[in-house]
Chain A
Amino acid sequence: MLSTIQPPRYLSRFPLRGRTKSRSFHILSSAQPVTKTCFAADKSQILSIRDSLLNRHLSAVELTHSYLDRLKQTEPHINCFLHVSDPDKVLKQAQDIDDKIKRNEEVGPLAGVLVAIKDNICTADMPSTGGSYILEGYRPPFDATAVKRLKDLGAIVVGKTNLDEFGMGSTTEASAFKVTANPWDLSRVPGGSSGGSAASVSARQCVVSLGSDTGGSVRQPASFCGVVGLKPTYGRVSRFGLMAYASSLDVIGCFGSSVADTGILLHAISGHDSLDATSSKREVPDFTSQFTYASSLKSRPLEGLRVGLIRETVDAGVDSGVKSAIEGAAAHLEQLGCVLKEVSLPSFSLGLPAYYILASSESSSNLSRYDGVRYGNQASSDELNVLYEESRAKGFGSEVKMRILMGTYALSAGYYDAYYKRAQQVRTIIRKSFKAALDENDILISPAAPSAAYKIGEKKNDPLAMYAGDIMTVNVNLAGLPALVLPCGFVEGGAVGLPVGLQIIGAAFDEWCELPAKFAKHKCLLNGFFERNL
């Protein structure tokens, strides 16, 4: 049955458990013994936590302690967080949950689950900087809707994670404050812009986390950090409280160590919000009802599922290691019963330039509000224009400035038709071609990035090369479709190899179609592989 499926050959040398060469791993492995908190990767951590809490096997306080300890130990090495919640507050919240359980009161489905939030999502009781100096120390007076929903369900927010400034970037190197390291290899980037969120889940500093995806900012770090990253359909999750980068492309996405966790998190935050005019009124199906245990799956659980591998994504320009991982995953899907074929999307390459024009234009407008007048860092001056110029010049990083300049140019008189309008027309073409492909296939697959994680500093002076890395992901944003990235293999590099993620794209609002497929696949392929021995 499932256990007879062999892992891809190049993984056989990967040690399942045991010492590894990196020093940081050594520190922890000699620390506390393996506790009940080491969950198997294919099980849903959220469900296990709930189970343990309700059956009194574990208290929320104990759970929180173990995560906070791990956070404290790993944080100096990976720098995921821009702000960590006051441990006393967090423990108090955990204590409250324990008390409720003792009194046999109802606790929310996410009770005791520690969540990290990307710093461009507003949280009322914590600073939200968007990774930028211009908002250094800024505390919003309100919670983002997604955060509010999580809190209402009992989740504990453990901190705000690092990101590329305002979501612009693919490495977290563009953060004004720090660079996050990839837990798989500390000299490499975790991806971006939600690098901090991905790395914190990968390093088990929290159970799940929220990120945002405008051009791949959830999926690419998920691929680089070896975690599951989900980008919902545009409009599925409310954007109220997400600092806008490109309003027609932004979504809030989820990270988890398993597909089930990501699905549960998505379900918690989805749904219409009257504060977001672009949020969809479509009913949110219960994603969690689709989950089944591995043992109860038939031998070919995905029988009949039509899968299209996007040819343009496995062409030239993609690392050979990544290609083999994807091909291996595709083969595995076939073994699970899928009908695999190659699909061509001729407009695929148009996505990148169209994306950068649209995103830059919208961001140049969305970032106009950061002028130092009402909030954030203000450069003092006696003259209005100087105040604007100085506050923004000092507050914004160079990546942000570049995009504001590009966007302003693209929208200026005489250029609107040639750039912005044209890019919107390209967007329509891309949307149509995806729709056509998804009429023929249930899901489309591709790599999430052309390579695995690269070294910190490698792409810093070559922004175009960094942008080119977005090629796999931007089209999905332009079309507004949902996509999920799950780890499917490794390439050489780092101490133990670098993870590679498979991107699975579904039809609009069809997240649930993807999830069971991925869930099944995930369980089969990744039994125990991704237990991080940090």
Chain B
Amino acid sequence: MASTLFRTIQIHPFFLYPTALFSRRNGVLYCTMKSSQTQTATQEKQQPPKVKVPQHALKKTVDKITRDYEAIIGIETHVQLSTLTKAFCSCPYNYGSQPNTNICPICMGLPGALPVLNSKVIEFAVKLGLALNCKLSLNSKFDRKQYFYPDLPKGYQISQFDIPIATGGYVDLDLPLEFGGGHRKFGITRVHMEEDAGKLLHSGNGDYSQVDLNRAGVPLLEIVSEPDMRTGIEAAEYAAELQRVVRYLGISNGNMQEGSLRCDVNVSIRPVGQSEFGTKVEIKNLNSFSSINRAIDFEISRQALLHSQGQSDQIVQETRLWEEGAQKTVTMRKKEGLSDYRYFPEPNLPEVILTQEYVDSISNSLPELPEAKRRRYEKMGLSMQDVLFLANDMNVAEYFDETLSSGADIKLAANWIMGDIAAYMKNKKLSINDIKLTPQELAELIASIKSGTISGKIGKEVMFYFYYRVKQFKHFRVQQLFYLQILYDF
């Protein structure tokens, strides 16, 4: 269940450094990928996957991409909101519960049941809309999106069609330095509220499937981006930024593995210079940021290859699945035009009307968002690398800020956190919330080093004791003698 921080994958985009990436072995090119540092406590060691590709084809593809084609990428993200109860009924939602234990007549779609809107959903939607710099629709409504599928109990999904709650926003982010860095701004087309469907569990032999409606009715926010991204890394960083934003806002735990953050990617390519878009292909089943990156890169190369072979008509508008094991996309189903969902306004729910006061009160209660934090850290004089490390994890940023507010020197605090503390966390597989050294204590430690009371080396060793919270240290005071005494005792 680990979520991998995208930025820690050290993939060199092969179109920038083709030769560095591929190590030649037995006439076959291998590209290696490594991932380090994970975010949550339950950390998985990720095996560096190796992909075998025929040497000549790949080299040719690589060249083509760099020269001739531009990729147009758009992402649809579904964020599962962490409200106490579902969107339209008072069932709780607990990931991992026994099937069909969090259900009621309303989310089951029993005859005679009616939906009633959970007001928290609106609050979270407004928060996200404001955080993504969108224009909010003060008057919006719900619509029914109709289709038949066993995980959709009512035969329709309550969603928003023509008047979403937020439109026309953007997200600012900084690409990780290992990929060249750089600031990017990607547009957000719309954000709207909807309910989730249930889950289907397919039997091993495909004989039957079972329906679990625990998830049916859980509130979702769908975020549709403008097709502004051009590479796999940009797309993956966009998704990571959305994860940061929803976690900062506290509206979702943004966990791709648990399904509380789901991304579907639309990829098309067009020859450089052409203004018309190429055929769009949708990719599903992306379970981590790294798979977003790899899937897009694979898809770009697949499409470019087809183009170059004169088979661009083989690129059809379809949905493809990313297979993590095989590291490729495969056809799921061919889209024959757009489905007719027969949208019409949901008659059981009144219009959603927001007052400016309501919006303002939410706006005033927003925490400092990742972008603002990054700019603030930059202004403090930290390098981009430091900024990204410190700001991108909400807990690390909070720790850092608290250390600073206890009076610590900026550069030193940054170095300690990024150096020793990070190494310790990695070693012991802990998150920063688990570290027993409080920010105040770190500040004191830094202050005592800075003032020359103790040396840096001793500081590092003293730190060690903090980690184990030796009893004597509970009421710690910076005293040189005290430090030295402990050292001598050991």
Contacts and interface: CB of A to CB of B under 8 A. Distances in A.
Given A248-B347, A368-B148, A413-B342, A277 B110 contact: no
Interface residues of A, number: 42
A79 B405 CA distance: 81
A243 interface: yes
Contact of B116 (A241, A275, A370, A373): A275
B111 A388 contact: no
Contacts of A138: 111
Contact of B150 (A144, A244, A275, A384): A384
A507 interface: no
Interface string A346-387: 000000000000000110010011110111000000001000
A278 B340 contact: no
A140 interface: yes
Given A121-B112, A420-B344, A278 B150 contact: no
Contact of A140 (B111, B156, B344, B350): B111
A140 B350 CA distance: 26
B114 A122 contact: no
Interface in A121-140: 121-122, 128, 130, 135, 138, 140
A243 B171 CA distance: 45
A242 B112 contact: yes
A246 B115 CA distance: 15
A291 interface: no
A67 interface: no
B350 A247 contact: no
B211 interface: yes
B117 A277 contact: yes
Interface string A429-441: 0000000000000
B348 A247 contact: yes
A142 B105 contact: yes
Contacts of B115: 277
Contacts of B342: 365, 408, 411-413, 416
A277 B348 contact: yes
A365 B155 contact: yes
A289 B149 CA distance: 52
Contact of B153 (A240, A246, A369): A369
Interface in B338-355: 340, 342-344, 347-350
A274 interface: yes
B268 to A, nearest CB: 24
Contact of A239 (B114, B144, B350): B114
Q: Which interface class (under 10, 10 to 19, 20 to 34, 35 or more) fits B? A: 20 to 34
A369 B155 contact: yes
B153 A374 contact: yes
Contacts of A62: none
Contacts of A246: 347
A247 B211 CA distance: 27
A141 B105 contact: yes
Contacts of B32: none
A69 interface: no
A276 interface: yes
Interface in B95-116: 105, 108-116
Contacts of B154: 368-369
Contacts of B348: 244, 247, 277-278
Contacts of A361: 344
Chain B binding surface SS class: loop
Nearest to A121: B112
Interface string B151-171: 001111000000000000000
A275 B340 CA distance: 31
A122 to B, nearest CB: 5
Nearest to B115: A277
B58 to A, nearest CB: 41
Interface string A220-246: 000000000000000000011111101
B453 interface: no
B35 interface: no
B116 A276 contact: yes
A226 to B, nearest CB: 30
A384 B115 CA distance: 27
B317 interface: no
B112 A365 contact: no
Contacts of B155: 365, 368-369, 371
Given A141-B105, A374-B108, A412-B342, A362 B114 contact: no
Most central of B112, B146, B153 by chain A CB within 10 Å: B112
B310 to A, nearest CB: 35
A412 B341 CA distance: 8
A388 B347 contact: no
A342 B349 CA distance: 38
Interface in B117-162: 117, 144, 146, 148, 150, 153-156
B85 to A, nearest CB: 13
Given A141-B105, A275-B116, A277-B349, A412 B340 contact: yes
A212 B239 CA distance: 50
A370 B111 CA distance: 8
Nearest to A144: B112
A411 B112 CA distance: 22
B347 A275 contact: no
Contacts of A274: 116
Interface of B: 105, 108-117, 144, 146, 148, 150, 153-156, 211, 340, 342-344, 347-350
15 contacts: A135-B111, A140-B110, A140-B111, A142-B105, A142-B110, A144-B112, A274-B116, A275-B114, A277-B349, A361-B344, A369-B110, A369-B154, A374-B108, A384-B150, A413-B340
- Which 10 residue pairs of A and B lie closest in terms of their CB atoms, listed nearest first? A368-B155, A247-B347, A248-B347, A411-B342, A241-B112, A243-B111, A413-B340, A369-B109, A122-B112, A277-B116
Given A142-B105, A142-B110, A243-B112, 9 more contacts: A144-B112, A239-B114, A362-B347, A365-B146, A370-B111, A374-B153, A411-B342, A413-B340, A416-B344
